[in-house]
Amino acid sequence: MSKRFFASAIGLSSAVILSAFAPACSSSSSGGPGNDAGMDMTDSGSSSGSSSGSSSGSSSGSSSGSSSGSSSGTQDASTDAPTLSDGGPSTFTPSNFTTSGAGAVSVSGIADVSVMGQDCTIDTDAGTFTCTDATTFTTVNTQVAQSGAPGALVMALKSLTVASGGTISVSGSKPLILYVVGAVDVEGSIDTASNGVANSSLGNGGDNASDANGAGGASFCGVGGKGGNAADGGAGGQPGATYGMATLIPLQAGSQGGDANGMGAAGGALQITSTVSITVGTSGKVGANGGGGHSDGVVGGGGGSGGGILLEAPAVTINGVVAANGGGGGDAAGNGNDGTDSKNPATGNGVGGAGSNDANINGQPGGVNGTNYGGGGGGAGRIRINSASGTATIAGTVSPAATTSCVSQGKLAQ
């Protein structure tokens, strides 16, 4: 049965095998099939898109047509490797990508990946997954197009474990989808925060109109704070506009704060889809926080907004932290603080406005102290959780708070 999502998944399926040698991060390969994962059963407002065409060759970038090839590595996967559409069990339909038909995500040669105590980076432009310590594992990558948002990188794994002390940082211009046909256990951290990854620009904060105004904070779900007004009555930089869907379809990132010798970085865009379960343990963190606003020595820049986090699996348990908070505004004396992995707000520097946090989904406005004009704080991002029951087990921290409009839950689509 064809399972195609609202944003058609088209193009570049490749296997990336990164080889070195150390026990700290390990994997074993498997060609076994897995299930699909979910979209909202209760919310409306879907988008659709499709593309066609074909090409072949080696590529690490995004593709708007159907293309195939392998990215650089020590070994390439078979070009006729089976996908889930070739007979794998399917119990629900994934958000933002397809597991059957044209553009289906390949799972041939996928591996168990364990990050046991070192720092690792996923680059969504290069399609690489590398660690500071040498390691050996395989990722199978597929570029997918999205309607109304940048194309995303789907990285297929057999299972994913991030042990306490282990970190995965996400960089690159594309949203990241980790498609895991086994269980996901996060006791360390997965962070796509404050690095400008996949900045949507739709909610960028307004720049300061002069050297007597702070810049505006960025928006996503929550509204950024306005920049501090000039003493002569001039208007401070305005916050960006809100945008996006509660379902995170398409998968979108946050936006950048208004400029003052640099813009507060946007929280990124991360989707984790597991056919079994997702557990964020008591020491675990999944973050897409906005960056602090900058300073040009005269006025402050706006904080970046929190990004987008979509978690979907039959069972989702959060005992640790899942956060998409806004960054604090800067002022003449320094940069604001990055969004926090907690319910606490990122403070602005001096008269810079605080970023969003917990039930406070909007960034705070920048203040004025003499000739020091603060930037506004960044607004909250979006968090979406899809599960079999439609209700995740949450004993830990979710910020913005689960009671706000910036966090929503739904059932997996059949």
Mapped to the 3 state alphabet, what secondary structure does 146-199 carry? ECCEEEEEEEEECEEEECCCCEEEEECCCCEEEEECCCEEECCEEECCCCCCCC
Q: Which pLDDT belongs to residue 120?
A: 94
Quickly state the pLDDT bin for 231 (edges 50, 70, 90). low
Tokens found for residue 395: 């004993």
Q: What is the pLDDT of residues 321-352, one digit of tens each?
A: 999 999 999 999 999 999 999 999 999 999 99
Whether the CB-CB separation of 101 and 85 falls below 8 Å is answered with yes
Mean pLDDT across 242-253: 96
CA 408 to chain centre: 16
Place of tokens 């830990």: 396
Give 144 or 47, the one with higher predicted confidence: 144
pTM of the model: 0.81
What are the beta bridge partners of residue 321?
285, 397
Whether the CB-CB separation of 359 and 404 falls below 8 Å is answered with yes
Q: Which pLDDT belongs to residue 210?
A: 65
Quickly state the pLDDT bin for 88 (edges 50, 70, 90). very low
Q: What is the pLDDT of residues 351-393, one digit of tens each?
A: 999 999 999 999 999 999 988 899 999 999 999 999 999 999 9
Whether the CB-CB separation of 174 and 44 falls below 8 Å is answered with no
Q: What is the dihedral of CA 392, 394, 397, 399, to 10 degrees?
A: 30
Q: Which pLDDT belongs to residue 20?
A: 37
